[in-house]
Structure 1
Amino acid sequence: MIRLMKKYLDWWAVLGAVIFLGIQVMCDLYLPNLTSKLIDNGVAKGDTAYIWHVGGQMLGIAFVGLIAALFNVYFAATQAQKMGMRIRSNIFKRVLSFSNKEIDDLGTSSLITRTTNDVLQIQNVVIMMLRMMIQAPLMLLGAGFMAFTTERRLTSVFAVSIPLLLIAIALVMGSAVPLFKKLQKQIDKINLVFREGLTGVRVIRAFNQDEFEQERFDQANKDYTLTGIKVFSIVSLMFPIMTLILNGTNMGIVWFGGKLIGSMDMEVGKLVSFMTYAAMVLFSFMMLSMIFVFIPRAQAAASRINEVLQKENSIVDAPVSKQVKPQAQASLEYDQVSFRYAGAEKRVLEDLSFKMKAGQTLAVIGGTGAGKSTLINLIPRLFDVETGAVKVNGQDIRRLSQADLHAQIAFVQQKAVLFKGTIRSNMQFGKADASDEEIWQALEIAQAKDFVSKLDGGLDAVVEQNGDNFSGGQKQRLAIARALIKDASIYVFDDSFSALDFKTDAKLRQALSADERISRGIVVIVAQRISTVTQADKIIVLDEGKVAGMGTHEELKQTNPVYQEILHSQLREEEV
């Protein structure tokens, strides 16, 4: 947590908070002394003028203390909020730079919790530290010194009350700290179950598993609730224990102080002043105990945040080039590429080699789990190869920065992803300065122009979160249009025609081949349908991660058993 504070706090503002807090504490410590004088020299002697004079001083000091407290709270609150803002921003930037491996290691639900709840814990503790953690020791030392100078004979009461308070603090902390750490993990669990329920709500309903998912969430919710009740019940014990010890201390002070007053060894004002300082001492211990209870929870949150910020990316990025030419000498080459997922015994791809030039179309086909998506995920470097090299425009992609590499690739994933906004804002993900004419042209190639033109607002038609107000086929076509609007060297379609009917599929592929700009690049298509790949310049047939065949449709139809099997499973004999 100290590392985060060093990096994200503005130390001039922290210094300002400390200075104003020091002023507030000095004002608080001086007021009981004036109260003693007011009672002994004013009230006891009936001196009205003295009472007004000292009362005026007390009002002035109280006002100064109030202003100082306001400035301290302002600096503490603004610094805590700004620190949270900076941490959240850096976590988001860091997560965007992660490869799939890092995201899988940490977990999506855990990353959400770390960005929200964990940062909130840090913010709360920063406010407490700039207020209570500095105020408590200053108040403790100052009030202890003032109590000792006011009447040292009464300080013997602290010999009983302070050890009792320390024992209570130790017991509470020892019980609460492990539970706070457990609480953070249970928040992760609730977030995970709730997120799965939201994203999979249609599947849950389709399989009539509403009750099962409800029980699953109720169990996670119950575990969190029971732990929360337990830990906060333990922490809340501090208040009655503190009240009991404080009242006992006051009784002891009044008992011994009354004897001293009765023997004319002490004045009444000093007793009142000492009782105030004693309360300050005990409240200082209580504030420190509360801080020490919540700091471990914040420390656990800080460790989780640091784990994200300091996690090394498995993909080492190269320096960003100032000169990127997306379509200069477009080429794609796999040079003896092998790949396996982390922890897997068997390779997903093995010794894969081929080369494509500008204007060509590559198709990848094979059974489920053959490695089709893995093959094309290596192009934008979502994973790094185990051996061999993937080259784009003649350069090993490991020597390119991800920014330069992604500038040369337009990618359409298997699952169409749209963002909340408008159709225009989604299209501008592909090209930020795209004109309406360019957007309509991309929509026309993607066979989406007809249904978009009928929407209220046209390009300004609203897109809900995940594009939920569109059908699967419409979402796919919009996602394809977003990729086509980009000037790229390689256009990759990962089974992104699957929701299209055969007629739309054929029209889209024909429009792709007819477009002059796209034909200057390379088109890579992963497909399940034979009809989608027949016109490709080169077809790679994958079978359990190995190349079972490579060639044109006519060549593979005649010579490749795996391709023939796929062909006969989809088409009738006369169609073949």
Structure 2
Amino acid sequence: MFKLAYRNLNKLVVGLAFFCLFFQVAADLLLPTITADIVNIGIVKHDIPYIWHTGFAMLVISLLGIVGAVCNQLLAATSSQKLGVKLRSFMFRKITRMANGDFEKLGQASLITRTTNDVVQMQNATYSMLRMMVRSPMMLFGASIMAYFKSPRLTLVFLATMPVLALLVVLIMKKSVPLFRKIQALTDQINLVFREGLTGVRVIRAFNQDDFEQKRFKTANSNLTGNAISAYVTTSLMSPAMTLIISASNIAIVWFGAHLIAGNMMPVGNLLSFITYATQMLFAFMQLSMIFVVVPRAQASAQRIQEVLDVKDTINDPKNPRVLQKIIDLSFAHVDFSYSDSSKKVLEDISFQIHAGQTLAIIGGTGSGKTSLINFIPRLFDTSAGQVLLNGIDIRDFLQSDLHRRISFTSQQSFLFQGTVRSNLKYGDPNASDQQMMKALDIAQASHFVEEQGGLDAPVEQGGHNFSGGQIQRLSIARAVVKQADIYIFDDTFSALDFKTDANLRKALAKDKQIQKAIKIIVAQRVSTVADADQILVLESGRISAIGKHAELMQRSAVYKEIVNSQLHKKDSLTQIKGQAYA
């Protein structure tokens, strides 16, 4: 925690905060002594001028202490909030650049908790550190010295009090610290359940699982609540216990102090200042013990934050990158792939080549590795073996930014951002004109319903929930088409479209001059979607079963023929497959 804070805090501001804190502590320590002098000299000797003079000095010192306290609090608050800004920025930047495998390992719910709740814990600890973590030891040490000079005999009371206080703190910390650490993991769990309940609300209602989800959330909520109650009840015992010990100490101080005064061994003013120092010492000890509650929780949060920041980037830019020219050729050379936590190969010995102006279609059963294969092209994953080549050069020799600039990718799970149709299309090309965006909507067969909704400024809810599944897919395709790219990848983005819209969309793609020159890669389940492709790659259990045109595969690929027969009647022909959408 301290290393993470030290690296990201402004050292000058922290130094100024401690400097202001020194004035506050110095003022707090001087005031009881001045009070004792007023009693011992001014009141006992009836020296009114001394009282006025010393009182004015007390006022000046008090003002300096107030200024120091205000400045320290302002600097502490500013530093802690800026630390939060930095950590959240670092976390967000790291997460957005994280490889898909690392992202999935940590989990979305946990990453959200780490970026919000854990950062807040670090902010709270930083504020406490700049306010109390330094002030309490300074006050404890300074008040002890000042109290000793006022009455060495009365300091014996503290020798009996401090071990009791220390034992109390140790017992409470031993019980509460594990509970606070567990709170963070339980917060992850409740965020996971709550997020799934929100995003999957339609599925929950469709299957009438409201009661089940309510019980699931209640269980997660109860676990977090019970753990939090136990933690805070345990720590709450500290305050009344400390108050009891402080009160007992004050009684003992007054009792023994009265005997010392009666024996002319200590002035009355010294007793008053000693009581004040005793209270300062004990309250400083109480504040210090409360910090022991904040720090372990912040330490657990800091470890969770550092885990994210320490994730090694598995996909890195080369030290000496090659210049990526216009892509005219894409090839896979004996590509293998397996996830880091699995020995089983997802893809094995994948080899093919596709040129600019051609269309490659990928078809196969569920789990055959279609999406995994195309994820190598924009380097969402790196191959375990083999090479992906662009213009004959390994894809890992190019900067990721250059690579992404020349590839337009539409993922299997279409997603729209909250805003407008215009703002979503500009994700594809920030400089796209209205004319270009309308053209992309026409190609994607989306212009009709977009105009009905209000045109390019039509509102888009989070996730695009104000559109149907097919409309979301068409808007996602339009976002990909508006980008001027060398490779267009459509990962099963036609699945929610009816046959007619599917055929019209593919016909519009084929007519567009920019897309005609590019490499098109289409992942699909429908035979009618892939039948016109220049090459059809048939995947089976992560291996290429066959590759060729539709007519060729119908003759020599049993897997492809089985897929065709499962979707069409035996009497259907190639012409019917291509033209069924227009029937």
TM over 0.5: yes
Distance (Å, rounded) in 1 between the aligned partners of 2:494 and 2:393: 29
Q: Which residue of 2 aligns with 1:338?
A: 336
Q: CA deviation at 1:319?
A: 4.6
1:218-233 correspondence runs (5 A): 218-233=218-233
1:555-570 correspondence runs (5 A): 555-570=552-567
The one of 431, 438, 441 equivalent to 2:439 is 441
SS at match of 2:363: strand
Q: CA deviation at 1:97?
A: 1.1
Contact kept, 8 Å, 1:330 with 1:490, in 2: the verdict is: no
Q: CA deviation at 1:379?
A: 1.3
TM (normalized to structure 1)? 0.97
Contact kept, 8 Å, 1:320 with 1:404, in 2: the verdict is: no
Distance (Å, rounded) in 2 between the aligned partners of 1:282 and 1:248: 11
Q: Is residue 2:188 matched to residue 1:188?
A: yes
SS at match of 1:414: coil
Distance (Å, rounded) in 2 between the aligned partners of 1:293 and 1:362: 60
Distance (Å, rounded) in 2 between the aligned partners of 1:479 and 1:7: 41
Contact kept, 8 Å, 2:327 with 2:487, in 1: the verdict is: no
Distance (Å, rounded) in 1 between the aligned partners of 2:322 and 2:18: 46
- In structure 2, the CA distance between the partners of 1:72 and 1:375, relative to structure 1 (3 Å rule), is same
Q: Which residue of 1 aligns with 2:473?
A: 476
Q: Which residue of 1 aligns with 2:62?
A: 62
> Where does the alignment leave 5 or more consecutive residues of structure 2 unmatched?
574-583
Distance (Å, rounded) in 2 between the aligned partners of 1:322 and 1:477: 35
Q: Which residue of 2 aligns with 1:99?
A: 99
Distance (Å, rounded) in 1 between the aligned partners of 2:556 and 2:534: 17
Q: C-alpha offsets along residues 128-153 of structure 1, whole Å, 9 cap, x if unaligned?
A: 00010110111111111110111111
Identity of aligned residues (%): 51
Contact kept, 8 Å, 1:317 with 1:400, in 2: the verdict is: yes
Q: Which residue of 1 aligns with 2:370?
A: 372
Q: Which residue of 2 aligns with 1:259?
A: 259
Q: C-alpha offsets along residues 463-497 of structure 1, whole Å, 9 cap, x if unaligned?
A: 11001111111111110011111121110000001
Q: CA deviation at 1:514?
A: 0.8
Q: Which residue of 1 aligns with 2:421?
A: 423
1:344-363 correspondence runs (5 A): 344-363=342-361
Q: Is residue 2:500 matched to residue 1:500?
A: no
Q: CA deviation at 1:42?
A: 2.3
1:383-422 correspondence runs (5 A): 383-422=381-420
Q: CA deviation at 1:49?
A: 3.2
- Residue identity in the other structure for 1:154: L
Q: Is residue 2:42 matched to residue 1:45?
A: no
Contact kept, 8 Å, 2:322 with 2:398, in 1: the verdict is: no
The one of 444, 454, 459 equivalent to 2:456 is 459
Q: Which residue of 1 aligns with 2:531?
A: 534
SS at match of 1:369: coil
Q: C-alpha offsets along residues 206-259 of structure 1, whole Å, 9 cap, x if unaligned?
A: 111111111111111111111111111111111111111111111111111000
Q: C-alpha offsets along residues 259-317 of structure 1, whole Å, 9 cap, x if unaligned?
A: 01111221111100000001111111111111122211111111111110011122233
Contact kept, 8 Å, 1:121 with 1:301, in 2: the verdict is: yes
Q: CA deviation at 1:324?
A: 4.7
Distance (Å, rounded) in 2 between the aligned partners of 1:361 and 1:232: 63
1:233-244 correspondence runs (5 A): 233-244=233-244
Q: CA deviation at 1:321?
A: 5.6
- In structure 2, the CA distance between the partners of 1:268 and 1:530, relative to structure 1 (3 Å rule), is same
Contact kept, 8 Å, 2:444 with 2:474, in 1: the verdict is: yes
TM (normalized to structure 2)? 0.96
- Residue identity in the other structure for 1:114: R
Distance (Å, rounded) in 2 between the aligned partners of 1:168 and 1:148: 24
Q: CA deviation at 1:454?
A: 2.1
SS at match of 1:57: helix
Q: Which residue of 2 aligns with 1:167?
A: 167
SS at match of 2:553: helix
SS at match of 2:453: coil
- In structure 2, the CA distance between the partners of 1:491 and 1:573, relative to structure 1 (3 Å rule), is same
The count of residues paired between Structure 1 and Structure 2 equals: 573
SS at match of 2:134: helix
SS at match of 1:549: strand
- Residue identity in the other structure for 1:168: L
The one of 522, 527, 539 equivalent to 1:525 is 522
Distance (Å, rounded) in 2 between the aligned partners of 1:227 and 1:568: 58
Q: CA deviation at 1:560?
A: 1.3
SS at match of 1:152: coil
Contact kept, 8 Å, 1:366 with 1:542, in 2: the verdict is: yes
Q: CA deviation at 1:50?
A: 2.9
Distance (Å, rounded) in 2 between the aligned partners of 1:397 and 1:428: 26
Q: CA deviation at 1:498?
A: 0.7
Q: CA deviation at 1:322?
A: 9.4
- Residue identity in the other structure for 1:249: S
> Where does the alignment leave 5 or more consecutive residues of structure 1 unmatched?
none
